[in-house]
Structure 1
Amino acid sequence: MSNNIKRKITVFKQNGMKLRYVISLLVLIVILLTTFVNWYSSNLLFQETLAEKYLNKNYEYAQKMSLDTSVLIDDMRISLLNLAKTIGTENFTQEDMDKWIRANSSYFNSIFSADDMGVVQMMSPLDAGKSIMIGMEIEDDMMKQFLKEKKPIVSNPYISQAGNYLILISHPIFDETGTYKGLVAGTVYIHGDNSLMRLLAKHDLLDDSSSFVVDQNGMIIFHKDPSKVNTQLDNQVILNKLTNKKGGSIQSSDNAGNDYFTGYAYMPNTGWGIVSQTPVTIMNQPLKELSIKMIVNSLPLLIILLVLTVLVANRIASPLTRLAEFSRQSITKGNTHETTNKIHIKSKITEVKQLYYDIQEHLQILTDQNQKDGLTGLANRRTFDSQIKEWVDHQIPFSLIMLDIDRFKKVNDTYGHLVGDDVLKFLAKLLQESCRTNDRCFRYGGEEFIILLKNIDANQAYDIAERLRIKIEQTVSPTGEPINISLGITSFKENDIHPTPIIERADTALYHSKETGRNKTTVYEQIKSLK
């Protein structure tokens, strides 16, 4: 054989890349991409979970503060109501006033009564106001407003004639004939020792979260940072929602560009707003810990997979290596006819094709994972959207059952989210056991599930749904007692050209079940007759 051919074979051998390395590299890339996708998906899901957690926590916290504060304010107003009745109908003396303030000193820092001209008649303690005394007319704008309106009022914080920053709670005084005689008012010092300030201080949060109270004009009444008291709320979005008398939660930013998970609640009896917020940066540390944990947990498995990959790649490439060596030797020795006679050895390359199919199968597994709910193992929302669209496009008759767990939030609040997850898995298992082979079960989101029943009408679907509802009602759940579900049913109609109307009908039926008592099944087409 010529030296030129030998040189070409040598160059080809030196420049070529061995198949085992190609396979190893390919599998390594797949593993790394899979790891990255899983990390990214987990990170994103964890972010969403944390965000929802902090939004719900702050909203619930704001609601609790609002309720507790409202109850206290109402108690204080009732105390003033009773005092006003006593002053208006009985012979009430300064000594009686002193006794009353001693009995209600936890509510008010001071108390006074004034006639219909604003002249102080009684006050206790007598040294409460440095520039106010019995017989003096109070001329500040707030007192004029109280005297003019002649009704119970809780003021916004203001600086009184005596120079104190306070809230004034008043009640009009009428005599036995109903004649207006003036008012009685209790003072609550913003920086003083009283029940309201102690209640708000007691509610302070333990982490980086903060809570505060704003009045109707957006001025901060209470804040754990005293320097922020009597300053304007710098979050216009929250202020607008409180102005509209709304409560809820939202991720928002202040004027300095700081992002917060914010919960807010409106107090109807005062017009104040309770705000609880957590900086978004609080998620940084948990996300960092999650990433480190995933790396640490994945590294041993990754090493094992790499070792197995090398072994499998060697096993796959060995026949091809032998074939290449045989061909080279055949050419260099001039016995090419032997290569022709044994060319069937190349059929071993089908192992490369098998590897390709295995990779395809592996990618299909990843696809299946994306189509299934990670908690319950049921098909997820994405798979549902694809399945129902296919059936609608092909005009396949079917019925849809939409269901969710009654008062599932109470389950989470009472037993914790881990038990809540077990309840979801418990319900998913019962759904799978109750469905036929051709039926499809999906986790639609949260505690909502959907069953697609192929070639089943609404009446048949109702019977199936009722059997399922009764079975669940009679089966002990992970909470230690049965749970209840509400269900809504509808069926595919010939004029349905898109899944959305079908889903909306089922959702309406489910809502009707919820609104009419829960733990029941409603067929959409029967709602009008039920009404």
Structure 2
Amino acid sequence: MMRKHNGMKLRYIISMLVLLTILLTTLVTGYSMKAVLNETLTENYLNKNYEYAKKTALDTSVLIEEMKENVENLSKSIADGNFTQEKMNQWYLANGNSFNSIFSTDDQGVVLWMSPLKIGNNKVHPGTQLRDPLMNKALEERRPFISSPYLVQSGNLLILISHPVYDDQGTYKGTVGGTVYINGENTMNSLLGNQVILDNSSSFIVDHQGTIIFHTNKKDINVNIAEYPIMDIISKKESGSAKFIGNEDIEYFTGYAYLENTDWVVVSQTPVSIMENPLEELTKKVIINSLPLLIIILIAALIISSRISTPLTKLAVFSRNAIVNGKVHETNKQIQLKSSISEVRQLYHDIQEHIQLLTDQNQKDGLTGLSNRRIFDSQIKDWVETKTPFAVIMFDIDRFKLVNDTYGHLVGDDVLKYVANILQDYCREDDGCFRYGGEEFILLLKGIQTEEAVQIAEKLRTGIANTISPTGEPITISLGITVLRDEDHHPKTIIERADTALYHSKQTGRNRTTIYEQINEKSASSK
């Protein structure tokens, strides 16, 4: 009875341990899954609102620049002389709905021409002297400017885009202005009002004083939000995304984009509560869908644990009998137990060695023997964080697919090993040679700058091009080079530069080396 009790106790302990592990794993997985889903949804909403705000800001900036240019062109036409009311009307019609009205004054602010001549109940007409603060500013400063939105008698927000008029001798003759009702019938309102807003999101534009000058919900127009936390970010004239507390203490996923030519900020936001239901539904679905698999795993684990515990239980019984009887039983079964004990010990020893072997292999590419992508990511991250000077040479084999298609994948593998062997000849003790993926390789050169990197890259390129490969003829490679910059804070930007340079080598004929910094210089010189 004692021997049986001892054997069952061990089996139960292992089974309970497996059950506890499964339950804890399920809980941790569920929690982690929810955290990942929450992070993913948060990132998606922040990115969506930022992209929306950035697009709206870009479209608005382009429109305003076009309007500024139109007003400037009108001022030049007036300065040329022989300008008439008819020409003003033609110019107004030619600009479609860009402006609600346009006008020109002399150097004292007296209206010379305007179109349309009648705007609602507006009493301004040619011959009227404009005395409002905006016109005084335009007459005094005699320079182009875009006014801040201000409320007119009609209750609408208006901006003024003005440009001075100078004759050929540089004498100031007056000013030209175009008025735009932000919520009137014009191109700007059409642009802002036609943006598509989904899933309870809202969009608005706020000026530097915190006044909302446009909002998808019109009742919020002209509301001041200067005290809201988001204004701390907006005041820095930056673009980005973050979570902010808005009105009624509601938290929002907020994207914002700054317009330099107006000092406005476009804001797009979505309530954080929008993702509560999707997150809950997704979590339920994943748990429900995972439950059958978890049950199967649990049953399988219990069966396996039983099979593991059985020989251990038999071993315990055998040991107990040996102690009680003072000798080892001499049956074949008991000999097998004794033999199995030796195998377990050997298995434990082998597993330990195998784990060490796997650890070593985890750092190497199985085909070429070079360091793998995991080690590359770790090495470049460390060098970037410690600001260790280095250069990156990224290259791949030209037309490698053709090699595989022509000679077969076995020869293709030989070509990869052949290139890896040559690459290792160029690695110093502190450098790193990596297989980045497929037919792509990377050489990290510590403590060198562009000129030395180019020399090494060219030696590598010509060395491979002048050597017979496993295909029976030479192959070529294309290379891209970049170096660590002071402003680099993440390996991704460095890798992207090297990849761009490599792509440029591919696009410009292959079998060549491209320095990333020279791509921009060539583009600038060609312009």
Q: How does 1:128-207 map to 2 (within 5 A)?
A: 128=119, 130-134=121-125, 135-160=127-152, 164-175=156-167, 177-207=169-199
CA distance in 2, matches of 1:223, 1:504: 37
**CA–CA distance in structure 1, aligned partners of residues 395 and 221 of structure 2:** 44
What CA deviation, in whole Å up to 9, does each residue of 1:425-446 have, x standing for no partner? xxxxx999965699775989xx
Q: Does 1:97 align with 2:92?
A: no
Q: Does 1:215 align with 2:207?
A: yes
Q: Which residue of 2 aligns with 1:28?
A: 19
- Aligned to 2:119, the other structure's residue is in SS state coil
CA deviation map 1:62-105 (0-9, x unaligned): 33222221221122222222333333443444444344333334
1:151-186 Cα deviation digits (max 9, x unpaired): 222111102356542112222233454433322322
Letter of the 1:29 partner, please give it: L
Structure 1 unmatched ranges of 5 or more: 1-8, 393-398, 407-429, 472-482, 491-500, 524-531
Aligned residue for 1:184, secondary structure, equals strand
> What residue number does 1:379 align with?
374
Q: How does 1:40-439 map to 2 (within 5 A)?
A: 40-128=31-119, 130-134=121-125, 135-160=127-152, 164-175=156-167, 177-233=169-225, 238-246=230-238, 248-256=239-247, 257-285=249-277, 287-319=279-311, 336=325, 345=337, 378-379=373-374, 402=392, 435=420
Report if aligned partners of 2:103, 2:176 keep a CA contact under 8 Å in 1: yes
Matched residues in 1 for 2:358 and 2:60: separation?
52
* Alpha-carbon distance, 1:324 to partner: 7.2
The CA deviation at 1:107 is 0.9
Q: CA RMSD in A?
A: 5.6
| Comparing 157-166 and 216-225, the one that deviates more | 157-166
8 Å contact from structure 1 (residues 108, 194) kept in 2:
yes
CA contact (8 A) 2:104 2:112 kept: yes
Task: Find the aligned partners of 2:349 and 2:31 in 1 and give their Cα distance.
Answer: 26
**Comparing 321-330 and 158-167, the one that deviates more:** 321-330
Q: CA–CA distance in 1 between the matches of 2:284 and 2:357?
A: 26
Cα pair distance change 1:81/1:485, threshold 3 Å = same
Counterpart contact for 2:156–2:181, Cα < 8 Å: yes
With over 3 angstroms needed to count, the CA separation of the structure-2 counterparts of 1:402 and 1:161, relative to structure 1, is: same
Between the aligned partners of 2:161 and 2:134, the Cα distance in structure 1 is 11
CA distance in 2, matches of 1:321, 1:521: 68
Instruction: Write the deviation string for residues 479-503 of structure 1: whole angstroms up to 9, x where unpaired.
Output: xxxx98744579xxxxxxxxxx9x9
Matches within 5 A, 1:440-451: 441=434
1:443-462 superposed matches below 5 A: 462=456
CA distance 1:138–1:45, shift in 2 (3 Å): same
Residues 356 and 82 (structure 1), Cα distance of their counterparts in 2 relative to 1, 3 Å cut: same
Q: Residues 252-286 of structure 1: CA distance to partner in whole angstroms, max 9, x if unpaired? A: 31355544443333322222222333444444455
Distance 1:27 1:460 in 2: 57
- Residue 360 of structure 1, CA deviation: 9.5
1:327/1:280 CA distance change after superposition, 3 Å: same
Secondary structure of 2:224 counterpart: coil
Contact preservation (8 Å) 1:488, 1:509: yes
**Relative to 1, partners in 2 of residues 1:350 and 1:24: Cα closer, same or farther, differing over 3 Å?**
farther
More off after superposition, 196-205 vs 31-40? 31-40
Aligned residue for 1:82, secondary structure, equals helix
Q: CA deviation at 1:192?
A: 0.8
Equivalent residues of 1:235, 1:253 under 8 A apart: no
Q: Which amino acid aligns with 2:241?
A: I
SS at match of 1:218: coil
Contact kept? 1:316, 1:351, Cα under 8 Å = no
- Structure 1 residues 260 and 17, CA gap change in structure 2 (3 angstroms): farther
- 1:316-343 superposed Cα distances (whole Å, 9 cap, x missing partner): 3334556778999999xxx956887778
Q: Distance in 2 between matches of 1:192 and 1:349?
A: 90
Contact 2:156/2:183 (CA < 8 Å) preserved in 1? no
Answer whether contact 2:395 2:442 (CA < 8 A) is retained.
no
The alignment's TM-score, normalised by the length of structure 1, stands at: 0.64
Query: Would you say the 8 A contact 2:393–2:457 is kept in 1?
Result: no
**Separation (CA, whole Å) in 2 of partners of 1:181 and 1:193:** 31
Q: What are the superposed Cα offsets for residues 329-373 of structure 1, whole Å, 9 maximum, x if unpaired?
A: 999xxx9568877787577678998999999999999999x999x
TM-fit CA distance, 1:250: 3.1
CA contact (8 A) 1:249 1:261 kept: no
Secondary structure of the corresponding residue to residue 213 of structure 2: strand
Letter in 2 for 1:26: L
Q: Is the deviation greater in 508-517 or in 75-84?
A: 508-517
Displacement of 1:387 in angstroms is 10
Which stretches in structure 2 are left out of the alignment for 5+ residues? 365-371, 397-414, 425-431, 447-451, 466-476, 506-512, 517-527
Partner SS for 2:13? helix
Following superposition, the deviation at residue 109 of structure 1 comes to: 1.5
Q: Distance in 1 between matches of 2:220 and 2:351?
A: 61
The answer to whether the Cα contact below 8 Å between 1:27 and 1:309 also exists between their aligned partners in 2 is yes
Give the structure-2-normalised TM-score. Answer: 0.64
Offset, 1:249: 1.4
The whole-number CA distance in structure 2 between the counterparts of 1:294 and 1:363 is 33
Taking a change above 3 Å as real, the CA distance of residues 200 and 443 of structure 1, as seen in their structure-2 partners, is farther
CA deviation digits over 1:429-464, x for unaligned, max 9?
x999965699775989xxx9976799xxx9899459
Deviation of 1:193 (Å): 0.9
Q: What is the aligned-residue identity percentage?
A: 45
Question: CA–CA distance in 2 between the matches of 1:511 and 1:329?
Answer: 69
